[in-house]
Structure 1
Amino acid sequence: MKTYKKVPLPFIGQKRNFLKHFIPVLQQNIPNNGAGWTIVDVFGGSGLLAHIAKRTLPQARVIYNDFDNYAQRLHHNAATERLRQKCQAMVSERKNQRLTPATQSRLIAEIETFNGFVDVQTLASWFLFSGKQAKDWTDLKSKTWWNGIAQSPYAEADDYLDGLEIRQQCFTELLPEFAGQPNTLLLLDPPYVSTAQGAYANEQYFGMVQFLQLADKMKPPFVFFSSTKSELPAYVDYVCREQVGNWQVWEGCQKVAIKARLNYNAAYEDNMVWRFD
Protein backbone atom coordinates (compact mmCIF):
# COMPACT_ATOMS: atom_id res chain seq x y z
CA MET A 1 0.00 0.00 0.00
CA LYS A 2 1.17 3.51 -0.79
CA THR A 3 2.46 5.53 2.16
CA TYR A 4 1.57 9.23 2.33
CA LYS A 5 4.02 11.44 4.24
CA LYS A 6 1.65 14.40 4.11
CA VAL A 7 -2.11 14.70 3.95
CA PRO A 8 -3.83 14.70 0.55
CA LEU A 9 -5.92 17.76 1.46
CA PRO A 10 -5.03 20.60 3.85
CA PHE A 11 -5.74 20.17 7.54
CA ILE A 12 -4.79 22.45 10.43
CA GLY A 13 -2.55 20.64 12.90
CA GLN A 14 -1.42 17.66 10.85
CA LYS A 15 1.63 15.93 12.35
CA ARG A 16 3.86 15.30 9.34
CA ASN A 17 6.83 17.01 11.01
CA PHE A 18 6.74 14.34 13.73
CA LEU A 19 6.76 11.30 11.45
CA LYS A 20 10.54 10.77 11.67
CA HIS A 21 10.08 10.42 15.45
CA PHE A 22 6.68 8.72 15.47
CA ILE A 23 7.58 5.82 13.15
CA PRO A 24 10.62 4.64 15.18
CA VAL A 25 8.59 4.81 18.40
CA LEU A 26 6.03 2.44 16.86
CA GLN A 27 8.69 0.11 15.47
CA GLN A 28 10.68 -0.05 18.69
CA ASN A 29 7.74 -0.72 20.99
CA ILE A 30 5.31 -2.87 19.00
CA PRO A 31 6.64 -6.19 17.61
CA ASN A 32 5.57 -8.52 14.80
CA ASN A 33 4.29 -5.79 12.46
CA GLY A 34 1.58 -5.00 15.01
CA ALA A 35 0.01 -8.49 15.11
CA GLY A 36 -2.38 -8.70 18.06
CA TRP A 37 -2.33 -4.94 18.67
CA THR A 38 -5.05 -2.31 18.39
CA ILE A 39 -4.07 1.31 17.69
CA VAL A 40 -6.74 3.94 18.26
CA ASP A 41 -6.35 7.43 16.77
CA VAL A 42 -8.74 9.01 19.27
CA PHE A 43 -8.70 12.52 17.76
CA GLY A 44 -8.31 11.42 14.15
CA GLY A 45 -8.13 14.80 12.42
CA SER A 46 -6.62 14.29 8.99
CA GLY A 47 -6.02 10.59 9.62
CA LEU A 48 -2.28 10.94 9.03
CA LEU A 49 -1.28 9.29 12.32
CA ALA A 50 -3.67 6.39 11.73
CA HIS A 51 -2.48 6.07 8.12
CA ILE A 52 1.19 5.97 9.13
CA ALA A 53 0.48 3.54 11.97
CA LYS A 54 -1.21 1.12 9.57
CA ARG A 55 1.54 1.39 6.97
CA THR A 56 4.23 0.93 9.64
CA LEU A 57 2.46 -1.93 11.46
CA PRO A 58 0.28 -3.55 8.78
CA GLN A 59 -0.90 -6.41 10.99
CA ALA A 60 -2.36 -4.07 13.62
CA ARG A 61 -6.01 -3.14 13.89
CA VAL A 62 -6.02 0.65 13.42
CA ILE A 63 -9.07 2.73 14.30
CA TYR A 64 -9.39 6.22 12.87
CA ASN A 65 -11.89 8.45 14.67
CA ASP A 66 -12.91 10.74 11.82
CA PHE A 67 -14.71 13.28 13.99
CA ASP A 68 -13.97 16.09 11.53
CA ASN A 69 -15.31 14.13 8.53
CA TYR A 70 -12.05 14.24 6.59
CA ALA A 71 -13.15 11.15 4.64
CA GLN A 72 -15.97 13.16 3.10
CA ARG A 73 -13.50 15.79 1.93
CA LEU A 74 -11.32 13.10 0.36
CA HIS A 75 -14.33 11.59 -1.37
CA HIS A 76 -14.84 14.90 -3.19
CA ASN A 77 -11.18 15.38 -4.09
CA ALA A 78 -11.94 15.57 -7.82
CA ALA A 79 -14.43 18.41 -7.30
CA THR A 80 -11.88 20.30 -5.20
CA GLU A 81 -9.34 19.99 -8.00
CA ARG A 82 -11.86 21.30 -10.57
CA LEU A 83 -12.56 24.28 -8.34
CA ARG A 84 -8.83 24.88 -7.81
CA GLN A 85 -8.29 25.12 -11.56
CA LYS A 86 -11.21 27.54 -11.96
CA CYS A 87 -9.98 29.78 -9.14
CA GLN A 88 -6.40 29.73 -10.35
CA ALA A 89 -7.47 30.90 -13.80
CA MET A 90 -9.31 33.89 -12.27
CA VAL A 91 -6.44 35.23 -10.15
CA SER A 92 -3.83 37.55 -11.64
CA GLU A 93 -2.24 38.61 -8.35
CA ARG A 94 1.16 37.14 -7.50
CA LYS A 95 1.55 34.27 -5.06
CA ASN A 96 1.05 35.45 -1.45
CA GLN A 97 -0.22 38.83 -2.64
CA ARG A 98 -3.42 40.28 -1.22
CA LEU A 99 -6.34 39.91 -3.62
CA THR A 100 -8.16 42.99 -4.80
CA PRO A 101 -11.80 43.35 -3.71
CA ALA A 102 -12.84 42.84 -7.34
CA THR A 103 -10.92 39.55 -7.61
CA GLN A 104 -12.30 38.36 -4.29
CA SER A 105 -15.85 39.19 -5.36
CA ARG A 106 -15.45 37.27 -8.63
CA LEU A 107 -14.06 34.26 -6.78
CA ILE A 108 -16.90 34.29 -4.27
CA ALA A 109 -19.45 34.38 -7.08
CA GLU A 110 -17.69 31.49 -8.85
CA ILE A 111 -17.55 29.39 -5.69
CA GLU A 112 -21.17 30.03 -4.77
CA THR A 113 -22.34 28.88 -8.20
CA PHE A 114 -19.89 25.97 -8.43
CA ASN A 115 -21.55 22.71 -9.44
CA GLY A 116 -19.96 20.41 -6.90
CA PHE A 117 -18.77 19.93 -3.35
CA VAL A 118 -17.16 23.00 -1.77
CA ASP A 119 -14.42 22.20 0.74
CA VAL A 120 -14.26 25.26 2.99
CA GLN A 121 -11.14 24.11 4.85
CA THR A 122 -9.22 23.76 1.61
CA LEU A 123 -10.49 27.13 0.39
CA ALA A 124 -9.31 28.70 3.66
CA SER A 125 -5.83 27.30 3.05
CA TRP A 126 -5.84 28.98 -0.38
CA PHE A 127 -7.18 32.38 0.55
CA LEU A 128 -6.38 33.16 4.19
CA PHE A 129 -3.06 34.39 5.51
CA SER A 130 -0.91 31.61 6.95
CA GLY A 131 -2.25 30.21 10.22
CA LYS A 132 -5.70 31.81 9.89
CA GLN A 133 -8.85 29.70 10.02
CA ALA A 134 -12.52 29.92 9.07
CA LYS A 135 -15.34 28.06 10.76
CA ASP A 136 -17.65 28.06 7.72
CA TRP A 137 -18.22 29.62 4.30
CA THR A 138 -19.93 32.72 5.70
CA ASP A 139 -16.97 33.34 7.96
CA LEU A 140 -14.46 32.73 5.16
CA LYS A 141 -15.96 35.08 2.60
CA SER A 142 -16.11 37.91 5.15
CA LYS A 143 -12.33 37.88 5.60
CA THR A 144 -9.52 39.45 3.56
CA TRP A 145 -8.23 37.04 0.92
CA TRP A 146 -4.71 36.41 -0.35
CA ASN A 147 -3.42 34.36 -3.25
CA GLY A 148 -2.30 31.13 -1.65
CA ILE A 149 -3.92 28.80 -4.18
CA ALA A 150 -2.14 25.47 -4.33
CA GLN A 151 0.08 25.26 -7.39
CA SER A 152 0.08 21.46 -7.67
CA PRO A 153 -3.03 19.49 -8.63
CA TYR A 154 -4.82 17.42 -6.00
CA ALA A 155 -4.35 13.81 -7.03
CA GLU A 156 -6.85 11.07 -6.29
CA ALA A 157 -6.18 9.57 -2.87
CA ASP A 158 -8.76 6.79 -2.65
CA ASP A 159 -6.21 4.52 -0.97
CA TYR A 160 -5.27 6.94 1.82
CA LEU A 161 -7.68 5.40 4.34
CA ASP A 162 -7.27 1.80 3.15
CA GLY A 163 -7.00 -0.67 6.01
CA LEU A 164 -8.42 1.68 8.63
CA GLU A 165 -11.52 1.10 10.71
CA ILE A 166 -13.37 4.40 10.67
CA ARG A 167 -15.43 5.67 13.59
CA GLN A 168 -17.13 9.01 14.26
CA GLN A 169 -17.49 9.36 18.02
CA CYS A 170 -16.75 11.88 20.74
CA PHE A 171 -13.60 10.88 22.60
CA THR A 172 -15.68 10.50 25.78
CA GLU A 173 -17.45 7.58 24.09
CA LEU A 174 -14.42 6.09 22.34
CA LEU A 175 -11.85 6.25 25.13
CA PRO A 176 -13.64 4.03 27.69
CA GLU A 177 -13.89 1.27 25.10
CA PHE A 178 -10.13 1.04 24.60
CA ALA A 179 -8.17 2.73 27.42
CA GLY A 180 -6.28 0.19 29.50
CA GLN A 181 -7.08 -2.76 27.23
CA PRO A 182 -4.21 -5.22 26.56
CA ASN A 183 -2.00 -4.42 23.56
CA THR A 184 -3.92 -1.23 22.83
CA LEU A 185 -2.09 1.97 21.93
CA LEU A 186 -3.85 5.32 22.19
CA LEU A 187 -2.83 8.04 19.75
CA LEU A 188 -3.90 11.31 21.37
CA ASP A 189 -3.71 14.48 19.31
CA PRO A 190 -6.50 16.68 20.68
CA PRO A 191 -7.11 20.26 19.57
CA TYR A 192 -4.79 22.40 21.63
CA VAL A 193 -6.49 23.92 24.67
CA SER A 194 -6.78 27.73 24.61
CA THR A 195 -6.05 27.97 20.89
CA ALA A 196 -8.27 28.65 17.88
CA GLN A 197 -10.30 25.58 16.96
CA GLY A 198 -12.45 27.06 14.22
CA ALA A 199 -11.25 24.56 11.61
CA TYR A 200 -12.56 21.61 13.60
CA ALA A 201 -16.03 20.12 13.22
CA ASN A 202 -17.12 21.51 16.58
CA GLU A 203 -15.11 24.51 17.69
CA GLN A 204 -16.29 24.06 21.29
CA TYR A 205 -15.34 20.38 21.24
CA PHE A 206 -12.18 20.55 23.33
CA GLY A 207 -11.58 22.98 26.16
CA MET A 208 -10.01 22.75 29.60
CA VAL A 209 -12.79 20.57 31.04
CA GLN A 210 -12.45 18.14 28.14
CA PHE A 211 -8.66 18.05 28.56
CA LEU A 212 -9.06 17.18 32.24
CA GLN A 213 -11.56 14.45 31.32
CA LEU A 214 -9.02 13.03 28.90
CA ALA A 215 -6.15 13.25 31.38
CA ASP A 216 -8.24 11.47 34.01
CA LYS A 217 -9.27 8.57 31.76
CA MET A 218 -6.15 7.90 29.66
CA LYS A 219 -3.80 5.01 30.42
CA PRO A 220 -0.53 3.78 28.90
CA PRO A 221 0.50 2.87 26.34
CA PHE A 222 -0.07 6.16 24.56
CA VAL A 223 1.52 8.71 22.27
CA PHE A 224 0.33 12.22 23.11
CA PHE A 225 0.85 15.30 20.95
CA SER A 226 0.63 18.81 22.30
CA SER A 227 2.21 22.23 22.31
CA THR A 228 3.60 24.92 24.54
CA LYS A 229 0.57 26.92 23.37
CA SER A 230 -1.62 24.63 25.50
CA GLU A 231 0.93 24.24 28.32
CA LEU A 232 0.98 20.43 28.43
CA PRO A 233 4.64 20.25 29.59
CA ALA A 234 3.86 22.61 32.47
CA TYR A 235 0.78 20.56 33.35
CA VAL A 236 2.76 17.29 33.36
CA ASP A 237 5.50 18.83 35.53
CA TYR A 238 2.89 20.07 37.99
CA VAL A 239 0.83 16.87 38.40
CA CYS A 240 3.94 14.70 38.74
CA ARG A 241 5.56 17.05 41.25
CA GLU A 242 2.41 17.40 43.36
CA GLN A 243 1.15 13.87 42.65
CA VAL A 244 -2.37 15.05 41.87
CA GLY A 245 -5.01 13.63 39.56
CA ASN A 246 -4.05 10.77 37.29
CA TRP A 247 -0.36 11.72 37.63
CA GLN A 248 0.97 8.16 37.45
CA VAL A 249 0.26 7.90 33.71
CA TRP A 250 2.80 10.66 33.01
CA GLU A 251 5.56 9.25 35.22
CA GLY A 252 8.57 8.13 33.20
CA CYS A 253 7.27 9.49 29.89
CA GLN A 254 9.67 10.22 27.06
CA LYS A 255 9.42 13.39 25.02
CA VAL A 256 10.63 14.95 21.81
CA ALA A 257 10.08 18.61 20.94
CA ILE A 258 10.28 20.42 17.62
CA LYS A 259 10.00 24.06 16.71
CA ALA A 260 6.97 24.95 14.62
CA ARG A 261 6.05 28.15 12.82
CA LEU A 262 2.65 29.54 11.87
CA ASN A 263 4.04 32.42 9.86
CA TYR A 264 7.06 34.69 9.68
CA ASN A 265 6.52 36.20 13.15
CA ALA A 266 4.74 33.43 15.09
CA ALA A 267 6.56 30.32 16.32
CA TYR A 268 6.00 27.79 19.09
CA GLU A 269 7.13 24.34 20.28
CA ASP A 270 5.30 21.13 19.45
CA ASN A 271 5.71 18.08 21.70
CA MET A 272 5.31 14.33 21.31
CA VAL A 273 5.12 12.50 24.63
CA TRP A 274 4.92 8.72 24.89
CA ARG A 275 4.88 5.89 27.38
CA PHE A 276 4.54 2.17 26.73
CA ASP A 277 5.31 0.42 30.04
Structure 2
Amino acid sequence: MISIPFSGSKRNRYKEVKQIVQDQGYKKVYEAFGGSAVLSVNLFREGIVERAVINDYDRLFDLYPDYLDIKDNLIKKCLEAGFIKSNKRLNDTQREYLQSMIATIDEKYWRLLANNFVFSGKQTGTLKPSDFTYFHNDITTEKQREYLQTVQQMERVSMDYKEFLTEHYKDFDDTTIIILDPPYMNSTQKAYDNRYFFGLSATLKMLQMVKEMQVDFIFFNMIERDVIEVLKVFGFQDFKVSTRRITQTSTSSREDCLAYVRNQFS
Protein backbone atom coordinates (compact mmCIF):
# COMPACT_ATOMS: atom_id res chain seq x y z
CA MET A 1 0.00 0.00 0.00
CA ILE A 2 0.97 3.64 -0.33
CA SER A 3 0.46 6.45 2.16
CA ILE A 4 1.51 10.00 2.94
CA PRO A 5 2.71 11.52 6.22
CA PHE A 6 -0.82 12.72 6.97
CA SER A 7 -2.45 9.30 6.73
CA GLY A 8 -2.21 8.77 10.48
CA SER A 9 -3.28 5.53 12.11
CA LYS A 10 -5.72 4.62 9.32
CA ARG A 11 -2.91 3.27 7.18
CA ASN A 12 -2.56 0.50 9.78
CA ARG A 13 -6.20 -0.53 9.29
CA TYR A 14 -6.00 -0.98 5.55
CA LYS A 15 -5.63 -4.76 5.59
CA GLU A 16 -8.81 -5.09 7.66
CA VAL A 17 -10.77 -2.74 5.45
CA LYS A 18 -9.47 -4.40 2.29
CA GLN A 19 -10.56 -7.81 3.61
CA ILE A 20 -14.06 -6.54 4.39
CA VAL A 21 -14.44 -4.99 0.94
CA GLN A 22 -13.18 -8.11 -0.84
CA ASP A 23 -15.21 -10.56 1.25
CA GLN A 24 -18.45 -8.64 0.75
CA GLY A 25 -17.87 -7.73 -2.89
CA TYR A 26 -18.20 -3.97 -2.53
CA LYS A 27 -17.40 -2.10 -5.73
CA LYS A 28 -18.00 1.50 -4.69
CA VAL A 29 -16.52 3.34 -1.72
CA TYR A 30 -17.46 6.79 -0.47
CA GLU A 31 -15.23 8.43 2.13
CA ALA A 32 -17.23 11.22 3.78
CA PHE A 33 -14.40 12.64 5.90
CA GLY A 34 -11.51 12.43 3.49
CA GLY A 35 -8.38 13.64 5.22
CA SER A 36 -5.66 11.78 3.34
CA ALA A 37 -8.30 9.22 2.22
CA VAL A 38 -5.65 6.53 2.56
CA LEU A 39 -8.19 3.70 2.63
CA SER A 40 -10.06 4.75 -0.50
CA VAL A 41 -6.86 5.62 -2.34
CA ASN A 42 -5.44 2.13 -1.88
CA LEU A 43 -8.71 0.32 -2.59
CA PHE A 44 -8.93 2.21 -5.87
CA ARG A 45 -5.24 1.90 -6.71
CA GLU A 46 -5.31 -1.88 -6.31
CA GLY A 47 -8.48 -2.19 -8.40
CA ILE A 48 -10.48 -3.61 -5.50
CA VAL A 49 -13.23 -1.05 -6.06
CA GLU A 50 -14.36 0.37 -9.38
CA ARG A 51 -15.40 3.73 -8.00
CA ALA A 52 -13.96 5.76 -5.13
CA VAL A 53 -15.32 9.16 -4.14
CA ILE A 54 -13.56 11.18 -1.46
CA ASN A 55 -14.69 14.31 0.33
CA ASP A 56 -11.57 16.46 0.50
CA TYR A 57 -13.26 18.93 2.83
CA ASP A 58 -10.10 20.89 3.67
CA ARG A 59 -8.98 20.85 0.03
CA LEU A 60 -5.74 19.20 1.10
CA PHE A 61 -5.03 17.92 -2.38
CA ASP A 62 -5.53 21.33 -3.98
CA LEU A 63 -2.46 22.42 -2.02
CA TYR A 64 -0.47 19.27 -2.59
CA PRO A 65 1.21 19.92 -5.97
CA ASP A 66 2.62 23.28 -4.86
CA TYR A 67 3.42 21.93 -1.39
CA LEU A 68 5.58 19.17 -2.86
CA ASP A 69 7.53 21.69 -4.94
CA ILE A 70 7.95 23.94 -1.89
CA LYS A 71 9.14 20.99 0.17
CA ASP A 72 11.66 19.93 -2.47
CA ASN A 73 13.08 23.46 -2.62
CA LEU A 74 13.20 23.80 1.17
CA ILE A 75 14.91 20.43 1.61
CA LYS A 76 17.45 21.33 -1.08
CA LYS A 77 18.36 24.57 0.70
CA CYS A 78 18.63 22.82 4.05
CA LEU A 79 20.96 20.17 2.66
CA GLU A 80 23.08 22.82 0.95
CA ALA A 81 23.35 24.56 4.33
CA GLY A 82 24.70 21.37 5.90
CA PHE A 83 21.58 20.12 7.67
CA ILE A 84 21.64 16.42 8.64
CA LYS A 85 18.41 14.52 9.15
CA SER A 86 18.05 13.72 12.85
CA ASN A 87 15.54 13.29 15.65
CA LYS A 88 17.40 15.97 17.60
CA ARG A 89 16.59 19.67 17.45
CA LEU A 90 18.56 21.83 15.09
CA ASN A 91 21.20 24.10 16.55
CA ASP A 92 20.50 27.80 17.02
CA THR A 93 22.03 28.88 13.71
CA GLN A 94 20.17 26.23 11.72
CA ARG A 95 16.87 27.00 13.44
CA GLU A 96 17.23 30.68 12.63
CA TYR A 97 17.97 29.88 8.97
CA LEU A 98 15.04 27.47 8.67
CA GLN A 99 12.60 29.79 10.39
CA SER A 100 13.61 32.70 8.16
CA MET A 101 12.70 30.59 5.12
CA ILE A 102 9.43 29.37 6.64
CA ALA A 103 8.40 32.98 7.30
CA THR A 104 8.48 33.65 3.54
CA ILE A 105 6.16 30.71 2.73
CA ASP A 106 2.38 31.10 2.69
CA GLU A 107 0.96 29.90 6.02
CA LYS A 108 -1.49 27.55 4.30
CA TYR A 109 1.45 25.22 3.58
CA TRP A 110 2.88 25.18 7.09
CA ARG A 111 0.68 22.33 8.31
CA LEU A 112 1.94 20.16 5.46
CA LEU A 113 5.58 21.14 5.93
CA ALA A 114 5.36 20.48 9.67
CA ASN A 115 5.95 16.76 9.21
CA ASN A 116 9.58 17.41 8.33
CA PHE A 117 10.33 20.41 10.50
CA VAL A 118 8.11 20.46 13.61
CA PHE A 119 8.12 18.28 16.72
CA SER A 120 5.33 15.70 16.37
CA GLY A 121 3.49 16.88 19.47
CA LYS A 122 3.04 20.35 17.97
CA GLN A 123 2.08 19.42 14.43
CA THR A 124 -1.68 19.44 15.02
CA GLY A 125 -2.01 22.83 16.66
CA THR A 126 -1.69 26.39 15.38
CA LEU A 127 1.81 26.84 13.97
CA LYS A 128 4.25 29.73 13.95
CA PRO A 129 7.74 29.95 12.41
CA SER A 130 9.42 29.41 15.78
CA ASP A 131 7.87 25.91 15.92
CA PHE A 132 10.04 24.81 12.98
CA THR A 133 13.04 23.41 14.84
CA TYR A 134 13.68 19.95 13.32
CA PHE A 135 14.89 18.28 10.13
CA HIS A 136 13.49 14.75 10.19
CA ASN A 137 11.23 12.07 8.65
CA ASP A 138 11.13 11.30 4.92
CA ILE A 139 12.70 14.26 3.14
CA THR A 140 11.91 12.95 -0.37
CA THR A 141 8.67 13.51 -2.29
CA GLU A 142 8.58 10.58 -4.73
CA LYS A 143 6.11 8.51 -2.71
CA GLN A 144 3.86 11.49 -2.10
CA ARG A 145 3.85 12.32 -5.82
CA GLU A 146 2.84 8.74 -6.59
CA TYR A 147 0.01 9.05 -4.05
CA LEU A 148 -1.14 12.32 -5.61
CA GLN A 149 -1.27 10.72 -9.05
CA THR A 150 -3.75 8.15 -7.72
CA VAL A 151 -5.87 10.84 -6.04
CA GLN A 152 -6.03 12.76 -9.31
CA GLN A 153 -7.58 9.71 -10.98
CA MET A 154 -10.35 9.51 -8.38
CA GLU A 155 -13.53 11.52 -7.86
CA ARG A 156 -12.88 14.28 -5.35
CA VAL A 157 -15.22 16.92 -3.95
CA SER A 158 -15.16 19.37 -1.06
CA MET A 159 -18.35 19.84 0.94
CA ASP A 160 -19.97 19.26 4.31
CA TYR A 161 -20.33 15.54 5.01
CA LYS A 162 -24.15 15.81 5.10
CA GLU A 163 -24.17 17.40 1.66
CA PHE A 164 -21.70 14.78 0.45
CA LEU A 165 -23.86 11.85 1.55
CA THR A 166 -27.07 13.46 0.27
CA GLU A 167 -25.47 14.28 -3.08
CA HIS A 168 -24.34 10.68 -3.66
CA TYR A 169 -27.24 8.85 -2.06
CA LYS A 170 -28.84 8.21 -5.45
CA ASP A 171 -25.83 6.07 -6.39
CA PHE A 172 -25.85 3.89 -3.26
CA ASP A 173 -26.75 0.22 -3.71
CA ASP A 174 -25.78 -3.16 -2.29
CA THR A 175 -22.26 -2.84 -3.75
CA THR A 176 -21.64 0.39 -1.82
CA ILE A 177 -19.75 0.95 1.41
CA ILE A 178 -19.27 4.26 3.18
CA ILE A 179 -16.21 5.05 5.28
CA LEU A 180 -16.92 7.37 8.21
CA ASP A 181 -13.89 8.69 10.07
CA PRO A 182 -15.32 11.80 11.72
CA PRO A 183 -13.57 13.95 14.28
CA TYR A 184 -13.85 11.79 17.36
CA MET A 185 -16.67 12.33 19.83
CA ASN A 186 -14.04 11.94 22.58
CA SER A 187 -12.09 14.76 21.00
CA THR A 188 -11.18 16.48 24.26
CA GLN A 189 -8.73 13.60 24.78
CA LYS A 190 -6.82 14.61 21.65
CA ALA A 191 -4.22 17.34 21.30
CA TYR A 192 -6.22 19.37 18.82
CA ASP A 193 -8.13 22.63 18.73
CA ASN A 194 -11.56 21.39 19.79
CA ARG A 195 -13.40 23.79 17.49
CA TYR A 196 -12.69 21.41 14.64
CA PHE A 197 -14.24 18.38 16.29
CA PHE A 198 -17.69 16.91 16.42
CA GLY A 199 -18.64 16.01 19.92
CA LEU A 200 -21.34 13.48 20.77
CA SER A 201 -24.33 15.37 19.36
CA ALA A 202 -22.93 15.64 15.83
CA THR A 203 -21.86 11.98 15.92
CA LEU A 204 -25.40 10.91 16.77
CA LYS A 205 -26.86 13.02 13.96
CA MET A 206 -24.41 11.46 11.53
CA LEU A 207 -25.35 7.92 12.56
CA GLN A 208 -29.04 8.72 12.27
CA MET A 209 -28.46 9.96 8.75
CA VAL A 210 -26.57 6.88 7.56
CA LYS A 211 -29.07 4.56 9.24
CA GLU A 212 -31.88 6.07 7.20
CA MET A 213 -29.83 5.62 4.03
CA GLN A 214 -29.70 1.85 4.63
CA VAL A 215 -26.17 1.42 3.35
CA ASP A 216 -23.30 -0.53 4.88
CA PHE A 217 -20.54 1.49 6.49
CA ILE A 218 -17.26 1.42 8.37
CA PHE A 219 -17.15 3.76 11.36
CA PHE A 220 -14.00 4.82 13.18
CA ASN A 221 -13.92 6.34 16.62
CA MET A 222 -11.80 6.33 19.72
CA ILE A 223 -13.32 4.30 22.55
CA GLU A 224 -14.72 0.84 21.81
CA ARG A 225 -17.36 0.85 24.54
CA ASP A 226 -18.66 4.23 23.33
CA VAL A 227 -18.87 2.99 19.75
CA ILE A 228 -20.79 -0.11 20.78
CA GLU A 229 -23.18 1.92 22.93
CA VAL A 230 -24.06 4.45 20.24
CA LEU A 231 -24.55 1.73 17.63
CA LYS A 232 -26.93 -0.06 19.97
CA VAL A 233 -28.84 3.17 20.64
CA PHE A 234 -29.69 3.31 16.94
CA GLY A 235 -30.68 -0.32 16.81
CA PHE A 236 -27.77 -1.56 14.74
CA GLN A 237 -27.43 -5.27 15.43
CA ASP A 238 -25.24 -6.65 12.65
CA PHE A 239 -21.83 -5.15 13.35
CA LYS A 240 -18.29 -6.22 14.19
CA VAL A 241 -15.80 -4.19 16.18
CA SER A 242 -12.00 -4.29 16.01
CA THR A 243 -9.89 -2.17 18.35
CA ARG A 244 -6.18 -1.41 18.51
CA ARG A 245 -4.08 0.73 20.78
CA ILE A 246 -2.35 3.65 19.11
CA THR A 247 0.82 5.08 20.61
CA GLN A 248 0.60 8.85 21.06
CA THR A 249 3.75 9.57 23.03
CA SER A 250 6.37 7.50 24.83
CA THR A 251 4.10 7.44 27.88
CA SER A 252 0.57 7.42 26.48
CA SER A 253 -1.65 5.55 24.04
CA ARG A 254 -5.30 5.50 23.06
CA GLU A 255 -7.85 3.16 21.55
CA ASP A 256 -8.63 3.25 17.83
CA CYS A 257 -11.88 1.45 17.11
CA LEU A 258 -13.16 0.22 13.75
CA ALA A 259 -16.80 -0.84 13.50
CA TYR A 260 -18.09 -2.57 10.36
CA VAL A 261 -21.86 -2.16 10.24
CA ARG A 262 -24.25 -4.05 7.99
CA ASN A 263 -27.10 -1.66 7.28
CA GLN A 264 -28.09 -3.00 3.91
CA PHE A 265 -30.95 -2.07 1.65
CA SER A 266 -34.00 -4.19 2.43
Q: TM-score, normalised by structure 1?
A: 0.78
State the SS of the aligned residue for 2:140: coil
Deviation of residue 17 (structure 1)? 0.6
Match of 1:112 among 100, 103, 106: 103
Residues 34-113 of structure 1 mapped to structure 2, 5 A cutoff: 34=27, 38-57=28-47, 60-76=50-66, 77-90=68-81, 92=83, 95-113=86-104
Distance 1:192 1:272 in 2: 12
8 Å contact from structure 2 (residues 30, 178) kept in 1: yes
Match of 1:254 among 226, 234, 240: 240
- The reply to whether residue 149 of structure 1 matches residue 131 of structure 2 is no
Deviation of residue 23 (structure 1)? 0.8
Once structures 1 and 2 are overlaid, which stretch shifts more, 214-223 or 116-125?
116-125
Match of 1:140 among 128, 142, 145: 128
Structure 1 unaligned spans of 5+: none
Q: Deviations over 1:2-61 (max 9, x none)?
A: xx4222xx2163511111111111100126xx2xxx321000101212212213445522
1:223 aligned partner = 218
Deviation of residue 252 (structure 1)? 2.4
Distance 1:178 1:121 in 2: 30
- The reply to whether residue 176 of structure 1 matches residue 177 of structure 2 is no
8 Å contact from structure 2 (residues 52, 155) kept in 1: yes
8 Å contact from structure 2 (residues 31, 178) kept in 1: yes
State the SS of the aligned residue for 1:62: strand
1:20 aligned partner = 15
2:179 aligned partner = 187
State the SS of the aligned residue for 2:114: helix
Amino acid at match of 2:200: M
- The reply to whether residue 167 of structure 1 matches residue 170 of structure 2 is no
Q: How many residues align?
A: 251
1:275 aligned partner = 261
Distance 2:82 2:250 in 1: 24
| CA-atom RMSD in angstroms | 2.9
Q: TM-score, normalised by structure 2?
A: 0.80
User: Higher helix share goes to which structure?
Assistant: 2
Distance 1:165 1:26 in 2: 19
Change (3 A) 1:98 1:67: same
8 Å contact from structure 1 (residues 126, 147) kept in 2: yes
Q: Deviations over 1:117-148 (max 9, x none)?
A: 97212322223322432445xx33243x4424
Distance 2:98 2:204 in 1: 43
Distance 2:197 2:91 in 1: 35
State the SS of the aligned residue for 1:211: helix
**Overall identity of the aligned pairs, in %:** 24
State the SS of the aligned residue for 1:6: coil
Distance 2:63 2:82 in 1: 24
